[in-house]
């Protein structure tokens, strides 16, 4: 039905076009006869990963030529194609690359030529190409530096390669091979092996020693991988650092996790759900009996537990009585999350320890911010039902529950002037029976701190991985950071910081700045402040600061897009008087690895604000009559659409782009100039 409608629309459009042309004294002719297509030559055979060459001649005695589309099809699926504008008759030649997909047997592919003339007449010719899968002489395990760590030979099983050597427990490697001068790379993509990637594959044998690593170039299956179990149930690999199993657990029963050769002695154990028994990998389960997902986090060395309604659906208050905490970048387990109000990243399931009594326990400075708590309790792992100030109250003198006056109905905050004790153990206990949320300090642990200083002034430790300082900085001031051995490996925001030889200097205009230093992800975030001893961020009016929000912009990686969340708004660097700058690499939306990947290649819709949040914004910081002017080079890449800055087309992946907002004439001449260019 959709095709019929589509064709009808085209026919109607053609009639309208004919009518319009006649009004202009023009005649438009249509035809069902396409150009003459002669296949001069083509590759009758090819291998996956190689190329199919072709040459065709086109002519048409009645109409001018329009386009030639060349496609390669596996069955009826187009797997490679190319389109030419055929302005004149003659010969057209080229090549198509044959993709290397898994589970595709040797066979005959279709090479299709479709030529169209200006009368919309089309001619299609198909020829067959015999496609085979390469058989490599050998494949090689390569480490992250590109060094060979093992040579894999073809076994008696078709397409299966193997190497047997003395290996450590875990081998992180990609696989490389070459066939007829074509290089092939096999790496880790979305928790599986795929061709064209050099992401390291997390091979794991459980014990070190002599064992075999295998890979099948037809199925892309490989071994070995860690075989983890929870109470005998196999855990599924989510990615190289996470395994999960959904199991029924009994309150005060035993949970046994096996298959991890290094053992769990140095793991952090969640006191809301588990109590150690004295046997490695064996724990007493503390929450009420039910179905749970246990995530085994190899990188964090932590078990995350979530209540489930089924093997595939998380529990909620209506089905399992479970409740969830979601919030800003102020809490997490086993350490503070960097995400902000993202249910997939920053939602924790309370442990129901008795009927309708739920608890979450944190350590201030490690898994909970010592100040600035901003969270909410929800009925589910995501947006929807929630506990507002009408549902719950608190008897704590440390926190309060927002009453909705400022749009924060049900948000839970630390009270003004309250700072949690560094290393203090704090517990949220939600008693739904009485409708009371308790929050109290129940103990204390010693947390090892780092002494990190900026020009002799010491950073404060927010958590074990986040340090902060608010200080006055001057344009081109030399910055000396002590206490970090690997500063060279950090992503240094190029708009705020630059290297003069080996000397780190400040690039923005003089003022008061808050610097957050993240030692796990290795990057810094800088924000302009009202003064050096205030927690209030600067505004355009009172501090020469503007803030970016929207989609397609991010810091420090693309998986941390600003969105329209004021808490994630980015403070642009003032590089000259009222001239602000933001520099980033263009990357795919899902890229969470490229530090400085701060522009999406395919979509940008952002705007700047005169404060960290809603209010005065792009196009009217000094009045409604302000004009926005794009530079000539900016207009080729972006447009200003209802004061949103949006792309005209895709950006070049991997290229660096610079956004400049010049407000130096905004107040005097009511002109805001936006520049955007490829660096």
pLDDT at residue 1 is higher than 70: no
Percent of the chain with pLDDT over 90: 67
pLDDT tens-place string over residues 499-545: 888 889 999 999 999 999 988 888 999 999 988 776 789 999 888 99
Query: How many residues does this entry show for the chain?
Result: 679
Cis peptide before 334 (omega within 30 of 0): yes
pLDDT at residue 624 is higher than 80: no
Determine which of 326-330, 548-552, 627-631 has the lowest per-residue pLDDT on average.
326-330
pLDDT tens-place string over residues 108-154: 999 999 999 999 999 999 999 999 999 999 999 999 999 999 999 99
Res 238: pLDDT: 87
Distances (CA, A) of 659 to 224, 240, 482, 641, 673: 47, 36, 32, 16, 11
Res 316: pLDDT: 96
Residue carrying structure tokens 């290397």: 100
Distance of alpha carbon 616 from alpha carbon 639, whole angstroms: 20
pLDDT band at 10 (very low <50, low <70, confident <90, very high): very low
Residues 595-608 have a mean pLDDT of 94
**Nearest-10 Cα torsion for 278, 281, 283, 289:** -170
Residues 308-328 have a mean pLDDT of 95
pLDDT tens-place string over residues 25-57: 445 678 989 999 999 999 999 999 999 999 999
Residue carrying structure tokens 């950071």: 481
Distance of alpha carbon 523 from alpha carbon 596, whole angstroms: 10
pLDDT at residue 7 is higher than 60: no
Distance of alpha carbon 358 from alpha carbon 343, whole angstroms: 19
Residues 298-316 have a mean pLDDT of 95
Antiparallel, parallel or unpaired: β 599-600 and 579-587 = parallel
CB-based contact 591:558 (threshold 8 Å): yes
Distance of alpha carbon 677 from alpha carbon 404, whole angstroms: 43
List of E strands, 542-655 = 547-554, 561-563, 570-571, 573-576, 579-587, 599-600, 605-609, 627-630, 638-641, 644-647
The two structure tokens encoding residue 610: 């005169």
Average confidence score pLDDT of the chain: 89
Determine which of 265-279, 439-453, 629-643 has the lowest per-residue pLDDT on average.
629-643
Res 17: pLDDT: 39
List of E strands, 143-259 = 148-154, 160-167, 170-179, 182-189, 192-195, 201-204, 209-216, 222-223, 229-230, 233-234, 236-239, 242-249, 254-258
The two structure tokens encoding residue 627: 């004009």
**Is pTM beyond 0.75 here?**
no
- Across 273-282, 322-331, 495-504, which has the greatest mean pLDDT? 273-282
Residues 479-502 have a mean pLDDT of 87
pLDDT at residue 8 is higher than 70: no
Question: If you write DSSP's letter for every residue of 522-572 in order, what string do you get?
Answer: TEEEEEEESSTT--PBP-HHHHS--EEEEEEEESSSGGGEEET-GGG-EE-
Residues 383-395 have a mean pLDDT of 93
Please list, in sequence order, all residues whose beta carbon lies within 8 angstroms of the beta carbon of residue 434, skipping any fewer than 6 positions away: none
pLDDT at residue 208 is higher than 60: yes
pLDDT band at 669 (very low <50, low <70, confident <90, very high): confident
Nearest to residue 241, comparing CAs of 255, 223, 260? 260
């Amino acid at each position: 039905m959709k095709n019929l409608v589509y064709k009808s629309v085209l026919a109607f459009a053609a009639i309208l076009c004919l009518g319009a042309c006649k009004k202009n004294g023009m005649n438009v002719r249509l035809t069902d006869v396409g150009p003459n297509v002669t296949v001069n030559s083509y590759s009758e055979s090819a291998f996956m990963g190689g190329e199919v060459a072709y040459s065709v001649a086109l002519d048409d005695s009645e109409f001018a030529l329009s386009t030639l589309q060349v496609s390669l099809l596996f069955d009826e699926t187009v797997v490679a194609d190319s389109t030419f504008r055929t302005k004149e008759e003659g010969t057209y030649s080229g090549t198509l690359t044959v993709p290397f997909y898994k589970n595709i047997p040797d066979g005959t592919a279709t090479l299709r030529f479709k030529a169209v003339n200006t009368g919309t007449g089309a001619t299609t010719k198909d020829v067959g190409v015999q496609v085979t899968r390469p058989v490599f002489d050998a494949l090689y395990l390569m480490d992250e530096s590109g060094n060979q760590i093992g040579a894999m030979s073809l076994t008696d099983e078709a397409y299966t390669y193997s190497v047997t050597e003395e290996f450590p427990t875990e081998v992180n490697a990609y696989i490389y091979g070459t066939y007829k001068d074509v290089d092939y790379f096999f790496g880790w993509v979305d928790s599986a092996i795929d061709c064209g990637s050099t992401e390291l594959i997390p091979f794991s044998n459980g014990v070190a020693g002599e064992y075999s690593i295998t890979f099948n170039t037809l199925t892309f299956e490989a071994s070995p991988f860690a075989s983890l179990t929870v109470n005998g149930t196999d855990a599924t690999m989510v990615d190289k650092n996470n395994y999960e199993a959904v199991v029924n657990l009994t309150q005060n029963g035993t949970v046994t996790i096996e298959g991890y050769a290094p053992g769990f002695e140095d793991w952090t154990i969640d006191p809301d759900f588990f109590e150690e028994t004295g046997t490695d990998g064996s724990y007493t389960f503390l929450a009420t009996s039910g179905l749970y997902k246990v995530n085994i986090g190899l990188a964090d060395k932590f078990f995350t537990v979530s209540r489930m309604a089924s093997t595939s659906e998380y529990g909620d208050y209506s089905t399992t009585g479970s409740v969830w905490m979601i919030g800003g970048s102020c809490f997490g387990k086993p350490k503070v999350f960097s995400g902000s109000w993202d249910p997939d990243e920053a939602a924790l399931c309370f442990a129901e320890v008795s009927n309708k009594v739920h608890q979450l326990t944190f350590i201030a400075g490690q898994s909970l911010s010592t100040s600035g708590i901003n969270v909410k309790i929800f009925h589910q792992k995501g947006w929807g039902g929630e506990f507002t100030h009408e549902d719950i109250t608190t008897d704590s003198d440390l926190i309060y529950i927002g009453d909705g006056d400022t749009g924060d109905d049900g948000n839970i905050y630390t009270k003004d002037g309250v700072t949690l004790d560094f290393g203090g153990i704090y517990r949220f206990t939600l008693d739904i029976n009485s409708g009371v949320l308790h929050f109290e300090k129940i103990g204390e642990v010693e947390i090892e701190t780092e002494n990190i200083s900026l020009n002799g002034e010491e950073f404060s430790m927010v958590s074990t991985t986040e340090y902060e300082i608010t200080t006055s900085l001057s344009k081109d001031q030399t910055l000396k950071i002590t206490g970090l051995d690997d500063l060279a490996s950090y992503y240094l925001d190029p708009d705020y910081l630059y290297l003069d030889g080996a000397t780190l200097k400040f690039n923005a205009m003089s003022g008061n700045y808050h610097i957050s230093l993240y030692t796990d992800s290795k990057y810094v975030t800088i924000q302009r402040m009202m003064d050096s001893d205030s927690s209030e961020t600067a505004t355009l009016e009172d501090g020469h600061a503007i803030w970016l929000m929207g989609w397609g912009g991010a810091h420090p990686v693309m998986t941390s897009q600003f969105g329209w969340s004021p808490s994630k708004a980015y403070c642009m660097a003032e590089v000259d008087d009222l001239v602000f700058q933001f520099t980033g690499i263009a990357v795919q939306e899902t890229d969470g690895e490229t530090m400085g990947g701060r522009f999406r290649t395919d979509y940008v819709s952002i705007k700047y604000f005169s404060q960290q949040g809603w209010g005065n914004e792009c196009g009217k910081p000094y009045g409604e009559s302000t004009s926005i002017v794009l530079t000539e080079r900016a207009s080729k890449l972006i447009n200003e659409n209802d004061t949103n800055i949006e792309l005209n087309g895709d950006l070049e992946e991997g290229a660096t782009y610079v956004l400049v907002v010049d407000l130096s004439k905004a107040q005097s001449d009511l002109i805001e100039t936006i520049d955007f260019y490829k660096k």
